């Protein structure tokens, strides 16, 4: 009897021990609230991810971030159940605008030095993926309502770190902020907004990074905005898309190695700051760097608005590139294609001493053994500010065997005035490298500069270049930039839109398949303009660069043209602090019509331009970080 009751007590005890583990073993599915002031399912993202890793996601798991969070120790997703129909979405709860701050980051493992991590580092288990980080706080929204920030000045190097086999990850509508990161004082402690590193376990197929703001300032920015090195001794990945992002970075806006299949890099706005105080100065500074690819890589509709090299101690001079395509004979096999088109590349600058001077400056450089690179419809403007030595190239084609570079409908303006400044450069010719070039506008502003160099032949004029190269029979030598804002010319140093339709001298040649411009305006066989901008409906309206629903709308003034007064209306969706200003053709502010808080609804303001000279003026409405600009004409 005694032994029998002991038996049942033992059985009961075993069952009681099993019950909690059975509960824990239930998969996580559906929507879970994380943080906030209510009764969340998990107090932190770390707790939610730990539960996911332990119990595994099933079906669609959504973590709704309900309030600001502070996350220590580098939350790391390792759930290998996230494949097939099982997926994880992390986004703000409806109407919420949380900041998730990653502090006290880990110092070992694949999450080392990182804020938020996904690790697929087991070849036997397969991918850890199907993760979407969506910063929008509405379903299918496109507003950037959530911020990921890293705040660890001692060890913080990566805000988002993906390691190994992490397929089908999407990062969108997210603000990425380096609140405090380690100073990138050596190659071993460079910093990254998003780092996606292929490992022996695999590479990240179908990575999408879209409509994110990777921010920076003159004192704090990631060394790399986006870094994705695949290939070499580790696998390559297919299906990379990087679109609609605003990126500030010190050294490379994006550095992409060995993408495969079809790669699309478009609609990004990139500002290069140059190395900040205390930072290591690596080899080249690039807004977009593509090293080795297979398949087709499309780089289009990007705005590289400023490219800056800074004065910091360095032992070797470093080059500065807008876009560099690079492949050596030992990397990707011959026969791959890259299409680089409709990009604005502008405002190169240098601040500092001669010892740190960029060894060379390139708008677009093609250095790709074996590959075909089509460079069409780009607008390149090289600012001469502080650039006083070393070669400066608008478009540079290196001498790589089996490479074909096709250049058409580009506008290249190089305002640097010395002998080694060129609009176009075709390097020393010792190998079987083909360059086709025509219907470009090749312009250098300085009397000492050269239109081009072909092999070793420097060409002062377009005619010299045509004679030496046998190329560019239909190309032009026109200045679209000076003075900025004159009729038919470019808008500003950093905005290479036409102010109004340019003269027919800038007519290009239609290229099949290239039917839209940087704004989406149509190009057709009957209307093709050189450069990235086709003067269309959107020419006079500066786009805000995002698909954010407008908090306001600025109407075209009426009447227009006018003399001497005109009415300007605008609508506000909510009470806002607004500023409405008028600028002249040289971007000098000539009137402030509104500067203060205004109610929601319609507003009409009259501008009396009596006493102002006749001509084109711009009026701009600004609320918060958004500005809308329109053009008007005063007739005298
Ligand atoms: Ca346009």
- Ligand 1 center–CA 569 separation, angstroms: 24
Give the model confidence (pLDDT) of 173-218 as tens digits: 999 999 999 998 888 899 999 999 999 999 999 999 999 999 988 8
Q: Which residue has the tokens 């798991």?
A: 61
- Ligand 1 center–CA 568 separation, angstroms: 23
CB 284 within 8 A of CB 266: no
- Ligand 1 center–CA 252 separation, angstroms: 27
- Ligand 1 center–CA 538 separation, angstroms: 6
Least confident window among 16-25, 322-331, 589-598: 16-25
Instruction: Categorize the per-residue pLDDT at 556 as very low, low, confident or very high, splitting at 50, 70 and 90.
Output: confident
Structural domain spans, the chain: 24-222+231-237, 311-327+341-545, 552-634
- Ligand 1 center–CA 337 separation, angstroms: 26
Instruction: Categorize the per-residue pLDDT at 416 as very low, low, confident or very high, splitting at 50, 70 and 90.
Output: very high
- Ligand 1 center–CA 502 separation, angstroms: 12
- Ligand 1 center–CA 135 separation, angstroms: 29
- Ligand 1 center–CA 275 separation, angstroms: 33
Buried/exposed code over 100-128 (b: 16+ C-beta within 10 A; e: otherwise): bbbbebbeeebbbbbbbbbbbbbeeeebb
- Ligand 1 center–CA 125 separation, angstroms: 49
CB 341 within 8 A of CB 300: yes
Give the model confidence (pLDDT) of 447-485 as tens digits: 999 999 999 999 999 999 999 999 999 999 999 987 777
Q: For residue 178, which of 203, 159, 204, 198 has the smallest C-alpha distance?
A: 159
What's the rounded mean pLDDT across residues 248-269? 97
pLDDT, residue 290, reads: 97
Instruction: Categorize the per-residue pLDDT at 558 as very low, low, confident or very high, splitting at 50, 70 and 90.
Output: confident
- Ligand 1 center–CA 377 separation, angstroms: 12
pLDDT above 70: residue 2: no
pLDDT above 60: residue 22: no
Instruction: Categorize the per-residue pLDDT at 124 as very low, low, confident or very high, splitting at 50, 70 and 90.
Output: low
Phi-psi group of 526: left, alpha or beta (phi > 0 → left; psi -120 to 50 → alpha; rest → beta): alpha
What's the rounded mean pLDDT across residues 249-258? 96
- Ligand 1 center–CA 572 separation, angstroms: 26
- What's the alpha-carbon Rg for the chain, to the nearest Å? 28
- Ligand 1 center–CA 520 separation, angstroms: 7
- Ligand 1 center–CA 172 separation, angstroms: 26
User: In CATH terms, is domain 552-634 a member of 2.60.40.3080?
Assistant: yes
Least confident window among 28-42, 277-291, 536-550: 536-550
- Ligand 1 center–CA 379 separation, angstroms: 12
- Ligand 1 center–CA 529 separation, angstroms: 10
The percent of residues above 90 in pLDDT, for the chain, comes to 65
- Ligand 1 center–CA 565 separation, angstroms: 29
- Ligand 1 center–CA 558 separation, angstroms: 23
Rounded CA-CA distance 62/117 in Å is: 17
pLDDT above 50: residue 268: yes
- Ligand 1 center–CA 598 separation, angstroms: 32
- Ligand 1 center–CA 269 separation, angstroms: 16
pLDDT above 50: residue 540: no
The first and second tokens of residue 160, run together, are 């988002």
Q: HSE, CB side, 13 Å, CA atoms: give it for residue 115.
A: 31
- Ligand 1 center–CA 540 separation, angstroms: 9
The first and second tokens of residue 177, run together, are 């902020």
Phi, psi of 49 (to 5 degrees): -70, -35
CB atoms within 10 A of CB 186: 11
pLDDT above 90: residue 283: no
What's the rounded mean pLDDT across residues 433-443? 97
Phi, psi of 128 (to 5 degrees): -110, 105
Question: DSSP for 288-326?
Answer: EEEE--SSEEEEES-EEEEEEEE----SS---EEEEEEE
Instruction: Categorize the per-residue pLDDT at 282 as very low, low, confident or very high, splitting at 50, 70 and 90.
Output: confident
- Ligand 1 center–CA 72 separation, angstroms: 46
More confidently predicted of 123 and 54: 54
Report field, pTM of the whole predicted structure over 0.95: no
CB 396 within 8 A of CB 427: yes
Q: For residue 301, which of 365, 367, 347, 243 has the smallest C-alpha distance?
A: 243
SS3 category, 46: helix
Phi, psi of 197 (to 5 degrees): -105, 120
Residues with CB under 5 A from ligand 1 (ion): 517, 519, 521, 533-534, 536
Alpha carbon distance, N-terminus to C-terminus of the chain: 115
């Amino acid at each position: 009897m005694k032994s029998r009751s002991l038996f049942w007590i033992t059985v009961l005890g075993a069952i009681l021990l099993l019950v909690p583990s059975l509960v824990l073993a239930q998969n996580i599915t559906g929507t879970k609230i994380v943080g906030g002031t209510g009764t969340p399912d998990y107090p932190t993202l770390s707790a939610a991810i730990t539960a996911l890793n332990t119990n595994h996601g099933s079906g669609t798991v959504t973590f709704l971030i309900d309030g600001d969070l502070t996350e220590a120790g580098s939350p790391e997703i390792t759930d290998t159940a996230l494949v097939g129909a099982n997926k994880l979405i992390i986004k703000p709860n409806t109407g919420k605008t949380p900041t998730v701050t990653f502090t006290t980051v880990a110092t070992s493992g694949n999450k080392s030095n990182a804020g938020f991590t996904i690790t697929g580092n087991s070849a036997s288990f397969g991918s850890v993926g199907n993760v979407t980080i969506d910063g929008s706080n509405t379903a299918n929204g496109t507003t950037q309502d959530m911020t990921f920030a890293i705040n660890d000045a001692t060890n913080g190097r990566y805000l988002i770190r993906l390691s190994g086999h992490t397929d089908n990850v999407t990062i969108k509508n997210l603000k990425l902020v380096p609140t405090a990161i380690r100073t990138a004082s050596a190659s071993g402690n460079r910093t990254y907004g998003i780092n996606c590193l292929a490992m022996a376990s695999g590479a990240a197929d179908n990575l999408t990074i879209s409509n994110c703001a990777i921010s920076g300032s003159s004192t704090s920015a990631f060394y790399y905005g986006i870094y994705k090195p695949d290939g070499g001794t580790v696998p390559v990945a297919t299906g990379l898309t990087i679109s609609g992002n605003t990126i500030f970075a010190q050294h490379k806006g994006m550095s992409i190695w060995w993408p495969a299949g079809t790669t699309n890099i478009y609609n990004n706005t990139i500002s290069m700051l140059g190395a900040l105080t205390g930072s290591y100065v690596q080899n080249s500074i690039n807004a977009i760097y593509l090293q080795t690819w297979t398949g087709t890589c499309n780089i289009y509709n990007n705005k590289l608005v400023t490219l800056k090299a800074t004065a910091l101690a360095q032992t070797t001079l470093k080059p500065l590139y807008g876009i560099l395509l690079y492949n050596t004979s030992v990397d990707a096999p011959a026969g791959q294609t890259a299409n680089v088109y409709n990009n604005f590349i502008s405002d190169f600058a240098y601040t500092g001493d001669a010892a740190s001077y960029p060894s060379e400056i390139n708008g677009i450089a093609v250095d790709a053994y074996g590959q075909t690179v089509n460079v069409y419809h780009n607008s390149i403007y090289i600012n001469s500010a502080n650039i006083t030595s070393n070669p400066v190239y608008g478009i540079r084609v290196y001498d790589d065997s089996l490479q074909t570079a096709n250049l058409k409908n580009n506008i290249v303006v190089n305002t640097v005035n010395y002998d080694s400044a060129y609009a176009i450069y075709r390097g020393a010719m010792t190998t079987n490298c083909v360059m086709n070039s025509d219907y470009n506008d090749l312009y250098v502003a300085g009397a000492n500069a050269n239109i081009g160099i072909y092999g070793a032949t420097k060409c002062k004029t377009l005619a010299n270049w045509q004679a030496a190269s046998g190329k560019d029979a239909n190309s032009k030598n026109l200045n679209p930039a000076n003075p900025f804002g004159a009729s038919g010319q470019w808008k500003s140093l950093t905005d290479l839109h036409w102010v109004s339709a340019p003269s027919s001298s800038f007519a290009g040649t239609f290229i099949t398949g290239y039917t839209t411009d940087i704004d989406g305006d149509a190009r057709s066989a009957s209307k093709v303009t050189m450069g990235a901008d086709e003067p269309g409906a959107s020419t006079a309206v500066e786009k805000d660069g995002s698909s954010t629903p407008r908090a306001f709308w600025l109407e075209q003034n009426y009447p227009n043209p006018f003399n001497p007064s005109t009415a300007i209306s605008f609508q506000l969706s909510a009470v806002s602090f607004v500023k409405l200003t008028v600028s002249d053709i040289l971007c000098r502010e000539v009137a402030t019509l509104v500067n203060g808080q205004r109610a929601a609804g319609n507003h009409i303001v009259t501008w009396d331009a009596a006493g102002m000279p006749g001509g084109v003026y711009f009026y701009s409405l600004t609320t918060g970080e958004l500005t809308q600009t329109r053009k008007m004409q005063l007739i005298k």
